[in-house]
Amino acid sequence: MLNKKISIVGGGPGGLTLARLLQLKGCEVKVYERDTDKNVRQQGATLDLHEESGLKALIAAGLLDDFKKHYRPDADKMRITDHNAVVHFDDHNNEIPIEQIGTSFRPEIDRGPFRDLLIASLEKDTIVWNSKFVSLQAKDEGWEIIFDNGDRVYSDLVIAADGANSKIRKYITDIAPVYSGLTIVEGNIYKAATNAPELWKLAKGGKIFALGHEKSIILSTKGDGSLSFYTGTKESEDWVKTSGINFENKDSVYDWFKESFADWGDQWHELFASDESYFVPRPQYHFPPDQQWESLSNLTMLGDAAHRMPPYAGEGVNMAMLDALELAEQLTATDFSDIKTAISKYERAMCQRAADITEVTLQSMENMHAKEALKFLVDTFRLVH
Contacts of residue 181, defined as CB under 8 A and 6 or more positions apart, other chains included, come to: 234, 235, 284
Answer for the pair 208, 218: CB distance below 8 angstroms, yes or no: yes
DSSP letter, residue 243: S
Question: Which residues make Cβ contacts (< 8 Å) with residue 83, sequence separation at least 6?
Answer: 210, 211, 212, 213, 215, 261, 263, 264, 265
Contact 328, 25 (CB under 8 A): yes
In sequence order, the 6+-apart residues with CB closer than 8 A to the CB of 71 are 107, 108, 109
Euclidean distance between CA atoms 259 and 255, whole angstroms: 6
Does the annotation place 91 within a ligand binding site? no
**How far lies 18's CA from each of 13, 75, 136, 301, in Å?**
8, 26, 21, 11
Q: Quick count: other Cβ atoms within 10 Å of Cβ 354?
A: 24
Please indicate if the annotation marks 251 as binding a ligand: no
d(CA 23, CA 123): 8
| 48 carries a ligand binding annotation | yes
Confirm whether residue 72 is marked as ligand binding: no
Annotated binding site for FAD: 48, 111, 304
Annotated binding site for NADPH: 41
Annotated binding site: 41, 48, 111, 304
